[in-house]
Amino acid sequence: MLHIALLGFGVVGSGTAEVILQNQKQVAAYCGDEVNVKYILDLRDFPEHPLGDRVVHDIQVILDDPEVVLVAEMMGGAHPAYEFTSAALKAGKHVVTSNKEVVATFGAQLLDLAREHHVSYLFEASVGGGIPIIRPMQTDLASNEILSVSGILNGTTNFILTKMKNEGAAFADMLKLAQQKGYAEANPTADVEGLDAARKIVILAALAFGKLLDPNKISTTGITGITEEHTALADKLGGAIKLIAHTEKIDGRVLALVSPFLVLPTNPICHVDDVYNGILVGTNMLGRALFYGAGAGKLPTASAVVADILDILSGRSTDRRLPHWQVAGADDVADVASLSCRRVYVFEGCPRCEAKAKTALASEDSVWLCDGKFAVISAKMTATDADAAIQTTGLCPILSLPVLD
């Protein structure tokens, strides 16, 4: 019998218990032994739940029990989740987590701590919900150099943008709908302002490049400024506006950002709709690979937590294979101004203005919209160069977005 403890019995915690109970036979076959949820740490009691008798309110009970070999932390929030994780690792217990805030903020220290105590610290569920992405990046793509990661990492905003595009609806109305459907929280700031996606891209950037950036310091733009006019415009250009989290290395420095992008239909991310997430990894041998699925939700996220539990309990994962992350210094971080990509601009004006803008932006794509407006897609350039180019035309863009193609 392999004994584990769950920290937090909210949505993901109770889902994890459900996955283990429902797929019990399979779990036991995989680990070569039965898995038993010995403790559940929560402030509340759950007298009606079949595992209600496992509930404890003091972390010390779990830390002191040598039978508990693994702790699954699904509390959310940085504290006390970070302190409990540290204590569990120091007590020689493996830890798996769905808590992106803890991984994005303290991941480097916690991985060091895990190595020091010869246990594992896994976090597949912290990015992309149930979508396999962390482990594939570490194993299947190990033969590749990772060049970039671009993804839709937040299902709430993807739902809102998809609805805005398909129904010509306003942001505020679709946010309300997302709240009614339970996709968005009463306070939706972390989702719609991009902070949730920022935490996740910081984790993927650390996996790709070994440097952990501060999620609060990367360039983060949400979708509150996107109007139904913008989504309709993207549709006319054959693409879609998506909230993209992106990371790549520029001159040896790590760039990570979150921003609305115009995604062209040649990029498979363009077709990732509704609450789904999609993560495109660019590599030097395989080319581009897309991982797509449910980026949130009780059972999908729990399924990733349990995959990590199985990885450890079956003996596949050892501390020797944990990634080495360094906390990024100022010299490790690229400024968002150094991002070179195609960009879409919307201007108001005459055909001569259009010709001028196309020349200035070295553009091969432009399209006329209604009311004397036109859109121009620039050649690959930095925002600074594009701004300078536009200044020479005397035109003033009424919309500008980077393009993912």
Q: Residue from 42, 73, 101, 124 that binds its own copies (CB under 8 A)? A: 124
Q: Tell me which residues in 22-41 interact with its own copies (CB under 8 A).
A: 22-23, 26-27, 30, 32
The number of residues that bind its own copies (CB under 8 A) is 52
Q: What is the dihedral of CA 350, 231, 250, 280, to 10 degrees?
A: -140
Residues 144-203 that bind its own copies (CB under 8 A): 144-145
Among 3, 288, 373, 380, binds its own copies (CB under 8 A): 288
- Lay out the site mask for its own copies across 314-353 (x = CB under 8 A, - = otherwise): x-x---xx--------------------------------
| Residue number with CB closer to its own copies (171 or 276) | 276
Phi, psi for 88 (deg, rounded to 5)? -65, -45
C-alpha dist (Å) from residue 48 to 6, 175, 308, 317: 17, 34, 28, 35
Q: Is 18 exposed, middle or buried (0-12, 13-18, 19+ CB in 10 A)?
A: middle
The rounded radius of gyration (Å) of the Cα atoms in the chain is 23
Q: What does the alpha-carbon distance between residue 266 and residue 261 come to, in Å, rounded to a whole number?
A: 14
Please pick, among 100, 200, 211, 242, the residue that the annotation labels catalytic.
200
- Out of 28, 46, 136, 148, name the contact with its own copies by CB under 8 A: 136
Residue placing its CB nearer to its own copies in the complex, 302 or 404 = 302
Which alpha helices (DSSP H) does 210-338 contain, by range? 228-236, 298-313
Of positions 42, 73, 196, 311, contacts its own copies by CB under 8 A: 311
Q: Does 293 bind its own copies (CB under 8 A)?
A: yes
Rounded CA-CA distance 340/333 in Å is 16
Number of residues in the chain: 405
- Binds its own copies by CB under 8 A, chosen from 37, 87, 299, 367: 299
Q: How far apart are CA 311 and CA 331, in angstroms?
A: 36
| CA distance to 99, 115, 311, per residue, from 111 (Å) | 14, 6, 16
310 binds its own copies (CB under 8 A): yes
What positions carry a catalytic annotation?
200
Binding site for its own copies (CB under 8 A): 19-20, 22-23, 26-27, 30, 32, 124, 130-132, 135-136, 139-145, 268, 271-272, 276, 283-294, 297, 299-300, 302-304, 306-307, 309-311, 314, 316, 320-321
